[in-house]
Amino acid sequence: MATMRLEIVTAERMVYSEEVDMLVAPGIDGQLGILPNHAPLLTALQPGEIRVDKEGEENYMAVSGGFLEVLANRVTILADTAERAEEIDIERAEAAVRRAEERIAVGTSDADLQRAVFSLRRSQARLLAARRRRPRRDRGGAPQQPS
């Protein structure tokens, strides 16, 4: 089966670099599904989760925004911040959600409100991605014995 290269990078680090089968990313105008040999594309991203299918497994990541480029069967995501599901500190994201909600409820200047809304969306994206991996692991039950 055809694959494509996916690289997710931030200014600080390489978050993910693998050959993958499929990718779903939060494009600025909605969800973007990308398969191998996709036409060239450059788009902005909004806060959300990235789903990556690789060898029959789904992997999730959170992204807070940035850009996605498809060129020559290679997808590059230059993200403001990005974390793999297993790296996400759920309590930290929950606390960030609470802080943002409080700031929104109190009502401040437009600029502060906008910051709080983006903080809320970043944190919600982290919670979404982080929680994706729990049910999968639980569904698996006891580790399989080799037959």
Residue from 81, 117, 128, 133 in contact with ligand ATP (CB under 6 A)? 81
Site for ligand ATP in 89-118 (CB under 6 A): 89, 92-93, 96
The stretch among 50-58, 65-73, 104-112, 120-128 that binds ligand ATP (CB under 6 A) is 120-128
Task: With CA atoms as reference, report the closest residue to 64 among 14, 28, 103.
Answer: 28
Task: With CA atoms as reference, report the closest residue to 105 among 115, 116, 95.
Answer: 116
Q: Is 49 in the site for ligand ATP (CB under 6 A)?
A: no
Task: With CA atoms as reference, report the closest residue to 129 among 73, 74, 50, 58.
Answer: 50
What are the distances in angstroms from CA 99 to CA 104, 114, 116, 119, 126?
A: 9, 14, 8, 9, 15
The stretch among 18-26, 28-36, 38-46, 119-127 that binds ligand ATP (CB under 6 A) is 119-127
Question: What residue ranges bind ligand ATP (CB under 6 A)?
Answer: 64, 81, 83, 87-89, 92-93, 96, 119, 122-123, 126
